[in-house]
Amino acid sequence: MIQLNDTIRIAIVQENPTMGDIIGNLQLARRARADAAALGADLVLFTELFMSGYPPEDLVLKPAFMRACDRAINDLAADTADGGPGIVIGFPRENEQGRFNAVALLDDGKIIAERYKVDLPNYGEFDEKRVFHPGPMPGPVNFRGIRLGLPVCEDIWGDLGVCETLAETGAELLLVVNGSPYYRGKVDVRHQVVMRQVIESGLPIIFANQLGGQDELVFDGASFGINADKTLAFQMKQFETQIAVAEWQRQDDGWACINGPVLPIPESEEADYRACMLGLRDYVNKNGFKTVVFGLSGGVDSALCAALAVDALGKDRVHAVMLPYHYTSDESLKDARDCAQALGFRYDTIPIFKPVEGFLDALAEQFEGTEQGVTEENLQSRTRGTLLMALSNKFGSMVVTTGNKSEMSVGYATLYGDMNGGFNPIKDLYKMQVYGLSTWRNHHVPDDAMGPDGIVIPVNIIDKAPTAELRPDQSDQDSLPEYPVLDDILECLVEHEMDVDAIVERGHPRDLVNRIEHLLYIAEYKRRQSAPGVKITKKHFGRDRRYPITNKFRDRDTL
C-alpha cells in the first residue's frame, strides 16, 4: 500500500443520493470515486449515511434494508483493491452491539475501520435516538500513515467532546461526514460550529455535507474546510453537485490546506429560492412523476410556484389551469395568462360554474333557510381541488399545492380544496417572503434554473392587493391583518415561541395577538393533513413543530 508522508489530496463528494436506492447510490459512489481518481485524489470523502440516504428513519428497522446496505459497503470496499483512492463514507451498520449511524474507512480492498456516531440528535427534524444506538467515544483511524478523526455530524455540534478526544488520542486531521439540512442562515451557523471545534481541538476540520431533497428536507451542500489557524481552507458550491479536491500539507505545526476552491455562497433570498427549487425538483423526480399540474389563480403564491416549477423541471413538464368562477376578476384572468406566457408552460382554462352550481343544487334542500357564507365559498375551492386531482389521476401529474406559511398558520386555506396536492414548495415561506422571492426572481435567474430570464411574474401580481376571490370585492385583509403585521406576530409565535405579553410589547394590540394565537392553534388539524413542503425556516410545520390537535391552552389563561 502506498504510504503518504507530507501531503494528502482529499476529494470531497457533494452528491445527491436517493433514499433507499442502495444500488443506485453504490453506482453513484463508484462514479464519484473514478472522477476523484482522475483528479489525483488519495482519499474520497462522502457524506453521512450516503449509501442509504439520509435520514432513513424506520427503514433501518427493516433487516432486508440493513443487509442491502451491508452488501453495498463491502462491494465498494472491494473496489479499493485496485490501488486507487481510499474512501470515507457513511452507512447504517447493525452488529451484535446494536444499530449505528456509521462511517467506514475503505482501502486495500477491505473495510479498514468503522466509527459510530456518538451524539444522536433528537430535536427539530431529527429523531435518531428512535432508531440508532449511540456509539462509543472514537479514536483516530490510520490511513496510509496519517491519523484521521472521523466524527459524524452531530458529534461536532454537541458538547460531548468528541473532537477533543480525537485530538488527545493522536488525530491529525478531522473529516466530518454530515447530513445537515438547510434553513435560512445555516451556512454561517455551520462555520461557527466548526470554528468552535477547531479552537477546542487545535485541529483542521473538513465538513462534507450532503446535497439534495428528501421529503421536506433540503440538503444544500456548501461543504467547506477550516484550517487549524482558523482560516477558511476551502468552500464548495451551495445547492449544486460538485467534486472538489483539497490538497493538504504537513507543516511544522500540523496540517494545512494549500490548495482548494473558495466559491461564493448565495445571499439569503437566492438561497431560499434555490432551496425551494431543489426540494421540488427532487421530490418530483425521485418519486417518479413526469409532470406537475396546479391551479394558477392570478395571485402571487401560485405565480411563484409556477416560476419554481419551470425553473426546477422545465416548461414542458409544467401544466397550469385557471379555474374561474363568478368572482374571478378579469384582472386575475389576465395576470394568470401573462404569467403562463412569460414562463412558457401549458395553460388551460376550466370554468367551474356548472360543478359548483351542481353542488349547490344538490344541497339546496339541506341549506334551505340558511345564509350564504364560508360554506359556499369553500365549495368553490373544493371544486377546484377535485378537478385538479382528476387531472392528476388521469394523466399521472403531481398536483403542486400553493399555500404559504401565513395562510397555513391561521387556517386561511380549505381542507380538500386549495390544500389538495402532493407537494408544496412554498409551504415554509411567510407571505411577505413570497413577495420578496417573487421580486428577486424577476431580476435574477439561478445558475441551475431551467426557466427564462426577465419578468416572469407580472408586476401587477406583486403589486395588487391579495384576495381569494371567493365572494364579491373580497380582500385577504377583510379577515386578517395586513401581512407585514400578521407575519411579525406569527414569527414571534411560531419561530420564537414568544409569550403574548412579549409580542404586545413589540407594538401589537393584545386582542389581535390573542386572536392570531387562537387561529394558530385551531388550524393544527389542517396542517396535519397538508402536503409536505420544503423546510426554509428553523420551525417548519411538520418535523420541527409537533403541537397537539386537541389543545385548550391559550397564553392568556396562564396563572
The string of pLDDT tens digits covering residues 68-78 is 999 999 999 99
Same domain? 129 vs 48 = yes
Residues 6+ away with beta carbon under 8 Å from 532: 215, 216, 283, 423, 424, 427, 542
500: in domain: no
Share of the chain above pLDDT 70, in %: 96
pLDDT digits (tens, 9 = 90+) for 162-214: 999 999 999 999 999 999 999 999 999 999 999 999 999 999 999 999 999 99
Give mean pLDDT, residues 258-284. 95
Let me know if residue 80 belongs to a domain: yes
- Residue 487, H or E segment: helix 483-490
pLDDT confidence of residue 196: 94
Residue 494 included in any domain? no
Same domain, 364 and 404: yes
How does residue 439 score in pLDDT terms, banded at 50, 70 and 90? very high
Same domain, 86 and 127: yes
Tally of domains in the chain = 2
Q: Is residue 128 part of a domain?
A: yes
317: domain CATH number is: 3.40.50.620
Q: Does 475 have pLDDT greater than 60?
A: no
pLDDT at 552: 82
Q: Verify that 294 and 235 share a domain, yes or no.
A: no
pLDDT recorded at residue 544: 80
> Is 558 a member of any domain?
no
Residues 317 and 178 in one domain: no
Write down the pLDDT at residue 71. 96
Structural domain contains residue 117: yes
Report the CATH number that the domain containing residue 21 is assigned in CATH. 3.60.110.10
What residues contact 527, with CB distance under 8 A and at least 6 apart? 408, 541
Q: What is the pLDDT of residue 471?
A: 54
Q: State yes or no: pLDDT of 3 exceeds 80.
A: no
Give the dihedral of Cα atoms 521, 532, 304, 344; nearest 10 deg: -150
Residue with cell 404569467: 339
| Same domain membership, residue 176 and residue 75 | yes
* Average pLDDT of span 124-148: 90
Instruction: Indicate the pLDDT class of residue 550, thresholds 50, 70 and 90.
Output: confident
Instruction: Judge whether 123 lies within some domain.
Output: yes
What pLDDT does residue 160 have? 85
CA-based angle 500:506:511, to the nearest 5? 45
Q: What is the pLDDT of residues 85-121, one digit of tens each?
A: 999 999 999 998 999 999 999 999 999 999 999 988 8
- For position 204, what pLDDT does the model report? 96
Catalytically annotated residues: 48, 117, 153
**Range(s) of the domain holding residue 11:** 7-263
User: Is the model's pLDDT at 476 over the cut of 60?
Assistant: no
Q: Other CB atoms closer than 10 Å to residue 445's CB: what's the count? A: 16
Q: Which of 263, 279, 294 delimits the end of a domain?
A: 263
407, 441, 475 - which closes a domain: 475
Q: Is the pLDDT of residue 556 over 80?
A: no
